[in-house]
Structure 1
Amino acid sequence: MMRFVLVALALVLAGPAQAHKSSDAYLTFQVSGNTITQRVDIALQDLDRDLDLDANDDKQLSWGELRTRWPELERLLADSLKVSSEGQACTVSHTLAPQLDQHSDGAYAVLQQTLHCAAAVQRLSVDYRLFAASDAKHRGIARVLSGAAEQSALLIPADAAKTFQLQTSAQDPLRSLGGFVVEGMRHISVGLDHILFLVSLLMVAVWRREGAGWVARATPASAWREAFKLVTAFTLAHSLTLGLAAAGVLAPPSRWVESLIAASVLVAAIDNLRPFIKGPRWLMVALFGLVHGFGFAGPLQALGLQRGNLALPLLGFNLGVELAQLLLVALILPLAIALRDKPLYGRLLVRPGSALIGGLALLWLVERSFLLS
């Protein structure tokens, strides 16, 4: 086991870990006739990475350091964000003074501008390329407000420009629900830590504990039942904290949430290698699921749930997360069931796979706990 762990750590440390929290910027567009009030919140840690804002290299950004470089921030945004209506670019007519705002994961620069379009905006197109060259995980979380209507979307720099068809009334509920289902699926698909936690669980769902080790379950049905219990425990637990966090009832610091998520992956991987958790495994999964729920809450909070309209987005986002989880189960569990009683399954898949996942999780835990990434 130690050999596997050492090899896994060597592989992980040999390349970039990409262990940091997804890099998010927050964009709000308030449309009124041919005028757009635009607000963009960008994390200082992301700006520092690209613009090297920390002049004295003391690992702390001061307001003075940021203020003197503000024109560069505005140029970066101008180069990375193009807003147009009916095929014609909207131009900046007014820029507000520099501001800072505090989000759950740290300080953000706030850039606010008024845009003028040639005619009343009916179709708003947003071409977003911020940090496209430096951070493949970056995304913009956009809200477009027009009268009583509100639309939300994720902006991925590698994608084509996003077009919003403006409405004068509230969105159709089914269409809105579908959008949040997609966002839930997308969120878990890019959340490598969530995926590896589930993979670690599914790899040994086809086994049961016996003494200090694992033995294959007697029937495929018992393996499916175990997987069902694990996924259900995870779902119920993360749904609880997802709802509480999205509603603003609980808001633990992002640093500790991300660190605990990494710890959950590490614990699951170690337990695969040498079972040490007493009691049913679904209970451990439920406890860690509570933590993962806080990790899921960020996108929902950013998509405007602070306005109090929780039920539909929560339902859609949760459905999307569950669909992504079920797809993962459908991909992994049949193969694991077929191989569960083969000696090579443990030797060539479970042990090296768990060691690799554990090594990566350990690196994430160190980076997130000590803000090294």
Structure 2
Amino acid sequence: MMRIISISLALGLALAGPAQAHKSSDAYLTFQVSGHTISQRVDIALQDLDRDLDLDADDDKRLSWGELRKRWPDVERLVADSIKVSADGHICTIAKSSAPQLDQHSDGAYAVLQQTLQCAAPVQSLGVDYRLFAGSDAKHRGIARVLSPSGEQSAVLVPAQGLKTFQFETSAQDELRRLGSFVVEGMHHISVGLDHILFLVSLLMVAVWRRDGAAWVARSSSSSAWREAFKLVTAFTLAHSLTLGLAAAGVLAPPSRWVESLIAASVLVAALDNLRPFVRGPRWLMVAVFGLVHGFGFAGPLQALGLQRGNLALPLLGFNLGVELAQLLLVVLILPLAIALRKKPLYGQVLVRPGSALIGSLAVLWLLERSLNLSLLA
């Protein structure tokens, strides 16, 4: 069984290598409602548009402004076909489109489409039927922000789920559904964040061991292993919750490039420490320090909403709950097996050491890519 697990881990890393390690495919939508009209802004990553529309005409792996402008009618057509906006069940029509624009987000350049929509009557409820990239990227999400005279709302739009309705007189049930959507988005964010997953996997693999000088030895009891895992996960959770909240509120905004580079470094350090313990002091302290960095990485979707601090509590709570549920699922899947195998010599020889070496190798590539702006896994 251990050999099968080791082979599966190697195959998983090999297949996952070309994928984005942390930042998932997101588009950002803002709707400003005023009477009969809706001002709509849609920000779409150029890399996503290029995948579906083949914008790079000369195939030089670089998108020029001229190439984007030339295909702008196709961008507008894609948005019109994939995002249907309605008021009280009636489709709103495009009254005006602004000139093509570009904007920078944490993961690169985005095309910005701004339009004025005209509705048949004053808008009481807003419906968004979101299908963008439904056929080409199952992990894609739309992060929506709706501004109206009654306040501000936000939600995660999933292409497979179809129509999302925003009621401007919200009930407790509406708020619970909104909370649930951010719980799901937090879990989704972890599921596509391979670097975060591998950081936790590295920690859990040796939570069943303890340091003995420059080596690892198996813990004598399963309860000791559970306590160690609890300390590691708690330290990580408290640390990343702090910086996630600060970043989402706009209090702190370190450069994304360095945040992502440090996240890669955290994976590398955890993997190397598995191979030969070198981190001084309790391991939970190292985990807490790196947890502060991971929190900035988690904050991307919430930062993009531009939420006012008075409207931040519910999305932040839901998103953080989703992150924690995904982490607990990893613990439940990994730790019981690790506890059962912790005293067997083959656990270290077949699973921990080869697995940590593979994780460390991938982390080195991520670190070089992010710190030097290279493309090694594409």
TM-score, with normalisation over the residues of structure 1? 0.86
Aligned mate of 2:153, from 142, 151, 154: 151
Indicate the residue corresponding to 1:161 in structure 2: 162
State whether residues 188 and 321 of structure 1, in contact with CA within 8 Å, keep that contact through their aligned partners in structure 2: yes
C-alpha distance after superposition, 1:280-313 (max 9, x if no partner): 2112111211110001111111234245533343
State whether residues 31 and 121 of structure 1, in contact with CA within 8 Å, keep that contact through their aligned partners in structure 2: yes
State whether residues 125 and 161 of structure 1, in contact with CA within 8 Å, keep that contact through their aligned partners in structure 2: no
C-alpha separation in 2, matches of 1:16 and 1:223: 30
SS at structure 2 position matched to 1:305: coil
C-alpha separation in 2, matches of 1:371 and 1:152: 35
Indicate the residue corresponding to 1:291 in structure 2: 293
TM-score, with normalisation over the residues of structure 2? 0.85
State whether residues 28 and 144 of structure 1, in contact with CA within 8 Å, keep that contact through their aligned partners in structure 2: yes
Q: Which amino acid aligns with 2:38?
A: I
C-alpha separation in 1, matches of 2:12 and 2:177: 44
Indicate the residue corresponding to 1:355 in structure 2: 357
SS at structure 1 position matched to 2:114: strand
C-alpha separation in 1, matches of 2:327 and 2:138: 23
Q: Does 1:71 align with 2:73?
A: yes
How far the C-alpha of 1:60 sits from its partner, in A, is 5.1
SS at structure 2 position matched to 1:205: coil
- Residue ranges of structure 1 left out of the alignment (5+ in a row): none
C-alpha distance after superposition, 1:238-264 (max 9, x if no partner): 122112211212212222222222222
Indicate the residue corresponding to 1:309 in structure 2: 311
C-alpha separation in 1, matches of 2:15 and 2:318: 39
C-alpha separation in 2, matches of 1:161 and 1:134: 16
State whether residues 147 and 169 of structure 1, in contact with CA within 8 Å, keep that contact through their aligned partners in structure 2: no
State whether residues 148 and 170 of structure 1, in contact with CA within 8 Å, keep that contact through their aligned partners in structure 2: no
C-alpha distance after superposition, 1:295-345 (max 9, x if no partner): 111111123424553334333332332232223222222222222112232
State whether residues 19 and 367 of structure 1, in contact with CA within 8 Å, keep that contact through their aligned partners in structure 2: no
Indicate the residue corresponding to 1:366 in structure 2: 368
C-alpha separation in 2, matches of 1:165 and 1:141: 14
State whether residues 186 and 318 of structure 2, in contact with CA within 8 Å, keep that contact through their aligned partners in structure 1: yes
Q: Which amino acid aligns with 2:251?
A: V
How far the C-alpha of 1:355 sits from its partner, in A, is 3.0
Q: Give the 5 Å matches for 1:47-86.
A: 47-54=49-56, 61-85=63-87
Q: Give the 5 Å matches for 1:215-234.
A: 215-234=217-236
Q: Does 1:25 align with 2:27?
A: yes
State whether residues 35 and 117 of structure 1, in contact with CA within 8 Å, keep that contact through their aligned partners in structure 2: yes
How far the C-alpha of 1:141 sits from its partner, in A, is 0.7
C-alpha distance after superposition, 1:83-115 (max 9, x if no partner): 334554332222122222232333322101122
State whether residues 53 and 65 of structure 1, in contact with CA within 8 Å, keep that contact through their aligned partners in structure 2: yes
State whether residues 207 and 223 of structure 1, in contact with CA within 8 Å, keep that contact through their aligned partners in structure 2: yes
Q: Does 1:266 align with 2:281?
A: no
C-alpha separation in 2, matches of 1:216 and 1:144: 53
Q: Does 1:239 align with 2:238?
A: no
C-alpha separation in 1, matches of 2:362 and 2:148: 44
How many residues are matched?
369
SS at structure 1 position matched to 2:40: strand
C-alpha separation in 1, matches of 2:14 and 2:326: 29
Indicate the residue corresponding to 1:99 in structure 2: 101
308-317 or 67-76, larger mean C-alpha shift: 308-317
Q: Does 1:345 align with 2:359?
A: no
Aligned mate of 2:277, from 272, 275, 278: 275
For the aligned residue pairs, the C-alpha RMSD in angstroms reads: 3.1
C-alpha separation in 2, matches of 1:115 and 1:170: 27
Indicate the residue corresponding to 1:181 in structure 2: 183
SS at structure 1 position matched to 2:161: coil
C-alpha separation in 2, matches of 1:309 and 1:165: 15
Relative to structure 1, the CA distance from residue 29 to residue 227 in structure 2 (aligned partners, 3 Å threshold; closer, same or farther) is: same
C-alpha separation in 2, matches of 1:156 and 1:274: 43
- Residue ranges of structure 2 left out of the alignment (5+ in a row): 1-5
SS at structure 1 position matched to 2:134: coil
Indicate the residue corresponding to 1:114 in structure 2: 116
Relative to structure 1, the CA distance from residue 320 to residue 367 in structure 2 (aligned partners, 3 Å threshold; closer, same or farther) is: same
How far the C-alpha of 1:182 sits from its partner, in A, is 3.4
Q: Percent identity?
A: 78
C-alpha separation in 1, matches of 2:311 and 2:253: 18
State whether residues 261 and 292 of structure 1, in contact with CA within 8 Å, keep that contact through their aligned partners in structure 2: yes
Aligned mate of 2:47, from 35, 45, 48: 45
How far the C-alpha of 1:216 sits from its partner, in A, is 0.5
Indicate the residue corresponding to 1:334 in structure 2: 336
SS at structure 2 position matched to 1:186: helix
State whether residues 205 and 338 of structure 2, in contact with CA within 8 Å, keep that contact through their aligned partners in structure 1: yes
How far the C-alpha of 1:132 sits from its partner, in A, is 3.4
136-145 or 193-202, larger mean C-alpha shift: 136-145
How far the C-alpha of 1:16 sits from its partner, in A, is 5.5
96-105 or 242-251, larger mean C-alpha shift: 96-105
How far the C-alpha of 1:56 sits from its partner, in A, is 5.8
Relative to structure 1, the CA distance from residue 317 to residue 160 in structure 2 (aligned partners, 3 Å threshold; closer, same or farther) is: closer
C-alpha separation in 2, matches of 1:122 and 1:59: 45
C-alpha separation in 2, matches of 1:304 and 1:192: 26
